């Protein structure tokens, strides 16, 4: 089968970028050899979404440790990338239908975190931060492939009569934004979204659907800023990245003033930090009103400098970190929001974020690293078709 892979043997991490198109063995089920296959399924991928995490691997800026550690355990050198998808089940283990109800021809998406179910976090309902979770496409082979084998307990049934196939492929990242937006009560609130990449754009729509009365986007990229406007942001403040604070991590005083003024002069009730840069975190904190909430979703490795940390405490700010989706609570909310025709979210995702037609779609047969670089530059959420 055709796959997009990272091969540590032929692609030195510090001296390469991108993925290779490879032929790999098609996964199969054999319960005599592996009894756990009784609970597994084989899925034929239809569309796979290219995530910010995948960009990090493409650019060699993220997940080296997790990839290399897992390959060492497997005594392998090649990792199939990708964790966002929609596909059709083509084979099921003997325990799948009686235990989970899935059958061949069912359309499914998947939770990307395969959880253990036995650790402390899993036992108390915090499965999204399972102590022994394995991430698809990073710590085990992923969905940038014609077929994938997955345990049935991470699958999510999807009705293609209610959710367009291309939109169904991005339910997992949409769920990230749903999780972020349900961490604080947004009803009647002003919400500032720092970083209008894919997840930030999702947040703009979800915040409105969940009752926010004013949504402000903060974004340096003109194309993303325009998408934020099309998706319903009341105001978009475009950042000039050449104008920074005293230090690279410092808040931009002019930007903070603009955001606070856009939120009635007192600051945002809720600030959503979706970019992950140190200065963006400080911008979000300083743009939030006293007693407000700061949602931290943007992810970067390394140490961060929190400017004037005492003001976080004195101003009574509530800092919340968000990772992944609450399994499967967030998925139910995701389904409800996407299937609800009155909020327009599904149509906006299809037309604005995914481009409406096929410009953001690359068929696996047409993939080259060089041409895909252009797709990555043009679209916040490319799709790979199989």
Domain containing 363 — which CATH number? Answer: 3.90.180.10
- Lowest-confidence region among 150-164, 245-259, 312-326: 245-259
* pLDDT beyond 80 at 244: no
Are residues 233 and 285 both part of a single domain? Answer: yes
Q: 337 and 295 in one domain?
A: no
**Together in a domain, 310 and 332:** no
Say whether both 26 and 129 belong to one domain: yes
Per-residue pLDDT, 242: 78
Domain endpoint, select from 279, 299, 321: 321
Average pLDDT over residues 139-157: 98
Beta strand pairing status for 134-135 and 113-114? antiparallel
Q: How confident is the model at residue 246 (pLDDT cuts 50, 70, 90)?
A: confident
Whether residue 179 lies inside any domain: the answer is: no
Q: In which domain, by residue range, is 36 found?
A: 2-173+326-385
The answer to whether residues 21 and 156 belong to one domain is yes
Least confident range from 24-28, 222-226, 246-250, 280-284: namely 246-250
- Does the pLDDT value for residue 347 go beyond 90? yes
Going by pLDDT thresholds of 50, 70 and 90, the confidence category of residue 245 is confident
Domain boundary among 321, 352, 372: 321
Cβ burial 248-285 (10 Å sphere, 16+ → b, else e): ebbbbeebbebbbebbeeebbbbbbbbbbbbbbbbbbb
Mean pLDDT across the chain = 97
Same domain, 235 and 337: no
Q: pTM to 2 decimals?
A: 0.95
Report the distance separating Cα 193 and Cα 199, nearest Å.
Answer: 10
In a domain, 260, yes or no: yes
Q: Is residue 178 part of a domain?
A: no
Number of structural domains found in the chain: 2
The enclosing domain of 209 has a CATH number of 3.40.50.720
Residues 249 and 366 in one domain: no
Residues 132 and 14 in one domain: yes
Using 50, 70 and 90 to split pLDDT, how confident is the model at 241?
Answer: confident
On whether both 138 and 210 belong to a single domain, the answer is no
pLDDT in tens, 367-383: 999 999 999 999 999 99
Query: pLDDT tens digits, residue range 82-140?
Result: 999 999 999 999 999 999 999 999 999 999 999 999 999 999 999 999 999 999 999 99
Is there a single domain that holds both residue 199 and residue 108? no
Residue 40 backbone phi and psi in degrees, to 5? -105, 160
pLDDT at 240: 86
Distance set, CA 106 to CA 37, 99, 102, 103, 206 (Å): 18, 15, 7, 6, 28
The Cα–Cα gap between 285 and 236 comes to 18
- Mark 311-347 as b/e (b = at least 16 C-beta within 10 Å): ebeebebeeeebebbbbbbbbebbbebbeeeebebbe
Q: Please, which pLDDT band fits residue 357 given cuts at 50, 70 and 90?
A: confident
Do 120 and 154 lie in one domain? The reply is yes
pLDDT tens digits for 275-318? 999 999 999 999 999 999 999 999 887 899 999 999 999 999 99
The answer to whether residues 143 and 208 belong to one domain is no
Last residue of a domain, one of 304, 321, 338: 321
Please give the Cα distance from 384 to 330 (Å, whole number): 25
């Amino acid at each position: 089968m055709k796959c997009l892979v990272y091969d540590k043997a032929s692609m030195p991490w510090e001296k390469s970028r991108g993925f290779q198109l490879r032929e790999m063995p098609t996964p199969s089920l054999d319960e005599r050899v592996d009894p756990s296959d009784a609970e597994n399924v084989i899925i034929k991928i239809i569309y796979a979404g290219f995530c910010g995490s995948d960009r990090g691997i493409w650019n060699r800026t993220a997940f080296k440790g997790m990839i290399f550690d897992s390959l060492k355990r497997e005594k392998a050198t090649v990792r199939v990338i990708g964790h966002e998808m929609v596909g059709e089940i083509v084979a099921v283990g003997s325990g799948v239908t009686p235990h989970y109800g899935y059958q061949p021809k069912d359309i499914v998406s998947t939770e990307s975190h395969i959880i253990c179910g036995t650790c402390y976090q899993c036992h108390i309902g915090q499965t999204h931060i399972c102590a022994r979770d394995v991430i698809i496409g990073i710590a085990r082979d992923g969905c940038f492939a014609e077929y994938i084998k997955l345990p049935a307990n991470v699958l999510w049934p999807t009705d293609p009569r209610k959710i367009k196939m291309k939109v169904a492929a991005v339910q997992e990242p949409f769920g990230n934004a749903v999780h972020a937006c349900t961490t604080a009560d947004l009803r009647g609130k002003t919400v500032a979204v720092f970083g209008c990449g894919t997840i930030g754009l999702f947040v703009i729509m979800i915040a409105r659907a969940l009752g926010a009365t004013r949504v402000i986007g903060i974004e340096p990229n003109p194309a993303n800023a325009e998408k934020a406007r099309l998706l319903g942001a009341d105001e978009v403040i475009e950042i000039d990245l050449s104008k920074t604070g005293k230090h690279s991590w410092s808040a931009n005083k002019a930007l903070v003033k603009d955001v606070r003024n856009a939120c009635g002069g007192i600051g945002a009730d809720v600030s959503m930090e979706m970019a992950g840069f140190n200065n963006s975190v400080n911008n979000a904190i300083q743009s939030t009103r006293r007693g407000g909430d700061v949602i931290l979703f943007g992810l970067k490795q390394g140490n961060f400098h929190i400017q004037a940390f005492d003001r976080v405490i004195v101003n009574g700010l509530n800092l919340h970190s968000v990772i992944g989706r609450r399994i499967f609570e967030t998925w139910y909310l995701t389904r409800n929001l996407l299937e609800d025709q009155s909020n327009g979210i599904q149509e906006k995702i299809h037309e604005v974020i995914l481009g409406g037609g096929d410009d953001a779609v690359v068929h696996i047969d047409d993939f080259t690293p060089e041409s895909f670089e252009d797709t990555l530059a043009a679209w916040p959420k490319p799709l790979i078709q199989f």
